[in-house]
Structure 1
């Protein structure tokens, strides 16, 4: 009896990983819309005052896309962790300004500490009601981010940045647990 239970649990675990992986892959490979009303870059770790590689990849993709859509605002999200000297949003602002993006286009949401809060707090900073946005994050993160965005009333379309090889295994494994957390808890209040 115990052997069947263990096999059943392992089978369910493997099925979950396969399905979640397929959903992460397909979301990350969707083509972004060509006529957004805004771009939103989700925050990621800052090392001192420098964007982590994950955030840098997000910002590079956002800068390239923003240059093709020069008249739309860009929402930068992310607060300041205990070991960060500036907020993730501020690190994003500095990076994009350095890439030639006009500072007047940038809206900073600098209080959030999670993906859910990125979306929740950004609604207070920018008028997104009835507007289409492009969400920029690393490829592993876009499926869960899209779920949260939809639950909070966003009309969001994914734009993937690559995931740094040095953290890929760690963040993808963590993302499997985060997806379950999102299904159970991340809801508008």
Structure 2
């Protein structure tokens, strides 16, 4: 739908090949796009990436313009983290979530939560240290005020 609205746009289909997979994720998406009648000249395939950060890095290398308008399309539960990673890479973009089968939801949300915490663990540690310090002060200070 985004491609139909943006006639000059290209699809960069990004993803490497994991264990037990016959083809790369990029190639699988390209085959799907072709089956949906997307013209081959609109498709670029990136096949080396192993994670979201690499998806964005390697896809950026395929972009023709210095400051392209970028839309990241991923599963609905993954959009937030993908945009966080893009922001850290100084890659301004918009995110769009694709529908996800309901039976993937619990596993996907747990995976995304762990991924988010690993991205922001320094912030979480900082907040925990500050809260622990405040709690400690709240327990010690009343003893000295009497």
Question: Aligning the two structures, in what range does the TM-score lie when normalised by the shorter sequence?
Answer: 0.7 to 0.9
Q: Residues of 1 paired with 2:31 and 2:41: CA distance? A: 13
Cα 1:128/1:136, change in 2 over 3 Å? farther
Aligned length: 122
Cα 1:175/1:122, change in 2 over 3 Å? same
- TM-score, with normalisation over the residues of structure 2? 0.77
1:174 maps to what in 2?
A: 111
Quote how far apart the aligned CAs of 1:184 are: 4.4
* Contiguous gaps of at least 5 residues in structure 1: 1-63
Residue aligned with 1:66, SS: helix
Structure 1 position 147 matched with structure 2 position 81: no
Say which one has the larger Rg.
2
1:79 maps to what in 2?
A: 16
1:163 maps to what in 2?
A: 100
Written as runs of structure 1 = structure 2, the 5 A alignment for 1:1-189 is 64-127=1-64, 129-184=66-121
Q: Larger relative contact order (C-alpha < 8 A, sep ≥ 6)? A: 1
Quote how far apart the aligned CAs of 1:127 are: 3.1
CA RMSD of aligned residues (A): 1.5
Residue aligned with 2:120, SS: helix
Q: Deviations over 1:98-149 (max 9, x none)?
A: 1011111111111011111101111222235312211101111011100111
- TM-score, with normalisation over the residues of structure 1? 0.61
Q: Deviations over 1:54-81 (max 9, x none)?
A: xxxxxxxxxx221222321111000011
Cα 1:184/1:110, change in 2 over 3 Å? farther
- Structure 1 runs (4+) greater than 6 angstroms displaced: none
Quote how far apart the aligned CAs of 1:84 are: 0.7
Residue aligned with 1:144, SS: helix
User: Counting helix residues as a fraction of each chain, which structure ranks higher?
Assistant: 2
